[in-house]
Amino acid sequence: MATRIEKDSMGEMTVPAEALWGATTQRAVENFPVSGYRFGRRFIRAMGLIKQAAAKVNRDLGKLDEKKADLIIRAAQEVVDGRLDDHFVLDIFQTGSGTSTNMNANEVIANRAAQIGGGKIGSKEVHPNDHVNMGQSSNDVIPAAIHVAAAEAMRSDLVPALEALSAGLAKKAKEFAGVLKIGRTHLMDATPVTLGQEFGGYARQAALAALRATKAVRALRELPLGGTAVGTGINTHPEFARRICAELSKVTGIEFVEAEDHFEAQASKDAVCEVSGQLKAIAVGLAKIAGDIRLLGSGPRCGIGEILLPATQPGSSIMPGKVNPVMCEMVCQVAAHVIGADAAVTAACRESFFELNVGMPAMAHHLLEAVRLLASASRVFTEKCVHGITANAERCRDLIEGSLAMCTSLAPLVGYDTAAAIAKEAFATGKTVRQIAQEQIKSGKIKLTATQLDEALNPADMIHPSDKVLPVSA
């Protein structure tokens, strides 16, 4: 491979000839061959947006000449568009401030800007520190990139995916509105509900998840840009922070503002910790929805079987004809990953000492992966599972009639103790609550008419509030 020699403050480094990165990046490549994980598209885009906005602001403030600013803006746009992703080569596990990745962006943009201007890679006609990084520090750029990347990802990817899931579940709730079934608490039989009511609950849960993601976007609106090294704003124009936040707001459509206190914004990562917690809550909610749907569809003959899930692929290499709830299992695995990511983000947020957090690259990786996976899982689950769910109404009816919880509606008419005795006898004999109650009416043990019994055991009357009272003869 052809190479070239580049220099940084520590000396010479051999760099691949066509690489847009420079000596500082190459040094980090050799220092951190740890995981193979690299920053994803959203984070690299955010870095490009910040560097581009900085060039515009520094130009407008008279700090950066028009020609260099234009070259940086054009090169940064290629970073934003994903055309230079192959040149962002650093491992996630690196310096805790993300300085290596900030310099990776500075060097790539500087060298690409030189190319666009007709110069050579490595010429430093556009300087990575003096020009691309003007008015900035890794210590304010990297946390700002986390905020911008996560906010964009949630608004553009996660919120729409959760809203689509909620809409899909709401459509099923309407479709299943007339399907009576048995409810369950503690995994045991409870009083009847409709399948539509259950799915309506899932739809609301997904809608609230979308609201949580929207709330999380707002939690990221304060940016530490302008604080530079420690929060004092050394080496940057007093107007830089306000203007760059306004520029990023205009480009992204998200209302970013200058941090109210730059020391808080750079020294702590509480906002990121808050957002990660919201993502964990969303993951837990999705796992509940997927877990319920998986159980409701269990069988097809020896499980609950109240719903039928769309068959997506063969389920066994040894059992012919077996089809598994793979989409539900996928969602639950993603939820497990996100819950683990939250633990990692929390630990990284704890790496805050004095004026700087030093867990930011790992924090960024796990936070953005959580957003990406939740969005993708929600979308796939909606398309490949929810839309194809059908009700097994006959199975639902059979399970209601056999449930011991049917005696609940008898309690206001015959008293709790008598109703409990009916349930116990039904369980012991294998008969239904209706059958035992009919026998006790005939024997005179309970004083109800056949009509009263039928009305009391009508599952359609059990799915909403009622004011039944003990009959006068009881």
Phi/psi at 194 (5° precision): -105, 155
- What per-residue confidence (pLDDT) applies to 470? 54
Choose, from 123, 316, 387, 466, the residue flagged as catalytic: 316
Phi/psi at 315 (5° precision): -100, -10
Q: Where is 77: in which H helix or E strand?
A: helix 66-81
Query: Does the annotation count 186 as an active-site position?
Result: yes
The C-alpha R_g of the chain, in whole angstroms, comes to 31
- Three-class DSSP category at 30: helix
Average pLDDT, consecutive stretches of 10 residues, N- to C-terminus, the chain (474 residues): 91 96 97 97 98 98 97 98 98 98 98 97 95 98 98 98 98 98 95 97 98 97 98 97 98 98 97 98 98 97 95 89 95 98 98 97 98 98 98 95 91 93 95 94 92 92 76 48
DSSP for 35-49, written as a single string: ---B--HHHHHHHHH
**List of domains in the chain:** 3-134 (1.10.275.10), 140-393 (1.20.200.10), 403-461 (1.10.40)
Q: Where is 258: in which H helix or E strand?
A: strand 257-258
Q: Is the four-CA dihedral 354, 45, 14, 113 of positive or negative sign?
A: negative
- Identify how many contiguous H helices and E strands the chain contains and give both numbers: 17, 10
Half-sphere exposure (CA, 13 Å, Cβ side) for 450? 3
Choose, from 186, 443, 464, 473, the residue flagged as catalytic: 186
pTM of the model: 0.94
Phi/psi at 217 (5° precision): -60, -45
Cα 398 from Cα 10, distance rounded (Å): 78
- What per-residue confidence (pLDDT) applies to 197? 98
Cα 297 from Cα 284, distance rounded (Å): 20
